[in-house]
Structure 1
């Protein structure tokens, strides 16, 4: 359990848990490679986004304070303007980022990616905290954020294990 249960009516004053989502996956690849797949635009364009989506990068600078300005193209032809700013980088363990539609998006949310060794594999966790419960609920219900996140991590897993297979074939 990440948080204590909410206080009962009339009882103590525990604050409600933050409006968040948490998605994790074991990827059969070394942590350094999984981390690298997030740090270089040449990798991101191969796996970022849910199934059927493609990504066009306008600008990319992977450093604290750097930005990734990109468009996700949905399978139905809809374009989604996206923007990420990197707020903390601890290679190869952790990436913290602010994610919105644009730099000044008042609805931007924070995501923390952690990369933990799991034997020869990597456990990646995507922990996202939204500004409000309503924004989290909209992301989950309208944009299917949890399933989209699972598909994105699945695409990442397929991409990095593909790199390992190609390397083994050489």
Structure 2
């Protein structure tokens, strides 16, 4: 991880039924966007620490589907399906998580002159009571996922 890691992390913001993770990565917007849109990158960092991901279908375009299984360190499999709503290169990706917990996710990529500000916002469709349970694992899981993205980007810049 970069030496500036602590300054690149902005604490997660949690609303009534939404979570927003904001990070500034020491990488170009094109590279960060590519890490989100190319299966060979995304499969290396998506999911919390210790998880691996097996892609079943990856069609990143409006109306396309991303199906995958997240494998936890303790052997539990979590099937996931995302339906892409919007893909605007290199600015924005919007998708609906089609299995519980249901949410609309928006990733916005802002160019900061060689660095990239990523704002990842998830708005949950579940009741407030269900969201209260979901956020106990969704917030740290999203934070860890962004940590893994940062590690992946750092490994690319070392090549």
TM-score, normalised by the number of residues in structure 1: 0.80
Q: Distance in 2 between matches of 1:52 and 1:22?
A: 22
Q: Distance in 1 between matches of 2:17 and 2:106?
A: 14
Q: Which residue of 2 aligns with 1:136?
A: 131
Shift of 1:108: 1.8
Q: Which residue of 2 aligns with 1:158?
A: 151
Q: Distance in 2 between matches of 1:92 and 1:136?
A: 30
Structure with larger Rg: 1
Q: Distance in 2 between matches of 1:140 and 1:38?
A: 23
List per-residue Cα deviations over 1:49-84 (Å, max 9, x = no partner): 010000001111111010011000000110001111
Q: Distance in 1 between matches of 2:19 and 2:140?
A: 11
Across the aligned residues of Structure 1 and Structure 2, the Cα RMSD in angstroms comes to 1.4
List per-residue Cα deviations over 1:107-129 (Å, max 9, x = no partner): 52101101111231111111110
Q: Tell me whether 1:109 sits opposite 2:107 in the alignment.
A: no
* SS in structure 2 of the partner of residue 89 of structure 1: strand
List per-residue Cα deviations over 1:5-43 (Å, max 9, x = no partner): xxxxxxxxxxxx751111111111000110111111111
Q: Distance in 1 between matches of 2:57 and 2:86?
A: 19
Superposed, 1:121-132 pairs within 5 Å as 121-131=115-125, 132=127
In structure 1, list runs of 5 or more residues that go unmatched. Answer: 1-16
In structure 2, list runs of 5 or more residues that go unmatched. Answer: 1-14
Q: Distance in 1 between matches of 2:61 and 2:113?
A: 28
- What is the count of residue pairs matched by the alignment? 144
Q: Distance in 2 between matches of 1:94 and 1:27?
A: 16
* SS in structure 2 of the partner of residue 162 of structure 1: helix
* SS in structure 1 of the partner of residue 120 of structure 2: strand
TM-score, normalised by the number of residues in structure 2: 0.85
4+ aligned runs moved over 2 Å, structure 1: none
